[in-house]
Structure 1
């Protein structure tokens, strides 16, 4: 009897793309939502290097390389239909820049599993809506073209610790009690959420990348929102700041 093959087909959706929307000196990564297609391209630049010594045999040398990400994204809007996703709008704005200095972005891409390839680099963006009839989806073709080398990085998902990448909303009243949605990763098995050391209530795991909870009462100020699982606590970053007013 034929034995089953001990392999499975890899899926393109295993890759994540993050955009740094902060100042160059302090990266704050935000996930690019709505990716429908993604193709990572890396090419060697080669030139002929044949000499008489090769007696007519072809020879090339590698003189450099180039990289790019070719994407199709679903243009995401909020419930009002006109307020578009902040990360997508950031990229659209960069694609309209008049020069490379103002149009350059910082991007990273990696395997969501925590293993495999992971890179970051500086790049320029093109933004081309696909168009269509009145019932067509709002789909955009994007090309993120590398400026300089892609840099191998430690896969952001290699750690088992939870990561907070976004809060919605990012603030509320001092009485607390409002619903806060926490976006990130590695949330499965969440054991607690704290706002400046005070426990949130009604913590609900909605997926490995999303938690909902009620903000506790706190004095006015800005506090860190920390997610804890069996693996440990999320690191303090600018993305987890929640402001009471």
Structure 2
């Protein structure tokens, strides 16, 4: 194996949502992403006792994850429909119960090993702008349940 020398680019991420079911998944691209950022913050609690000789000790007691993504809205050439994945995210943001949860996966589009899947709740924030601006939306995908490392689906 050679020593890595090339810097990875932020645009390496691909986001897909499951438009099918858990039994028969239909992973579809969320197109036109212009910004992508994810976090997986652990919760650490102080577990220090007299037995640590004055050294602070911590224990991981929880984990949360979130994906923030901004994308350009895409419509059909006749302007009668938006991208199906964009619409699924928008509708989930206004729903409750099972309809508010969206199965997502994101991974390195070049096939490197980093890839994850989980279920998220959606916050939908149109970005507005002046008359020359593109129609953009920032969607925040807040994990509900674990974010699980997976085998990258584009790995050869």
SS of the equivalent of 2:90 reads: helix
Shift of 1:117: 0.6
Question: CA shift at 1:82, angstroms?
Answer: 4.3
Q: Does residue 71 of structure 2 align to residue 73 of structure 1?
A: yes
Question: Gapped runs of 5+ residues in structure 2?
Answer: none
Equivalent residue of 2:75, what SS? Answer: coil
| CA drift at 1:53 | 2.1
Q: By how many angstroms is 1:140 displaced? A: 0.7
Aligned-partner Cα distance in 2 for 1:82–1:37: 26
Q: Aligned partners of 2:143 and 2:97: how far apart in 1?
A: 12
Residue 144 (structure 2) pairs with residue 140 (structure 1)? no
1:115 paired to 2:81 = no
Tell me the distance in 2 between the aligned counterparts of 1:45 and 1:69.
Answer: 18
Provide the aligned length of Structure 1 versus Structure 2: 153
Any conservation in 2 of the 1:128–1:142 contact (CA below 8 Å)?
yes
Q: TM-score, normalised by structure 1?
A: 0.59
- Please tell me the root mean square deviation across aligned C-alpha atoms, in Å: 1.5
Residue 154 of structure 1: which of 143, 151, 154 is its match?
Answer: 151
Asked whether the 8 Å contact 2:14–2:106 carries over to 1, the reply is yes
CA deviation string 1:10-48 (max 9, x = no partner): 111111111101123211111110100001211111111
1:49 to 47, 50, 53: 47
| Gap regions ≥5 residues in structure 1 | 1-5, 160-245
Structure number with the bigger relative contact order (C-alpha 8 A, sep ≥ 6) is: 2
Residue of structure 1 equivalent to 2:34: 36
**Whole-Å separation in 2 of the counterparts to 1:24 and 1:124:** 17
2:113 and 2:155 in contact (8 A); partners too: no
Matched with 1:171 is none
CA contact (8 A) 1:100 1:124 kept: no
For normalisation by structure 2, the TM-score amounts to 0.91
**1:89 corresponds to which of 87, 106, 116:** 87
Q: Counterpart of 2:92 in 1: which secondary structure?
A: helix
CA positional deviation for 1:55: 4.1
Q: State how 1:4-23 maps to structure 2 within 5 Å.
A: 7-23=5-21
The whole-number CA distance in structure 1 between the counterparts of 2:122 and 2:30 is 13
Which range is displaced more, 56-65 or 137-146?
56-65
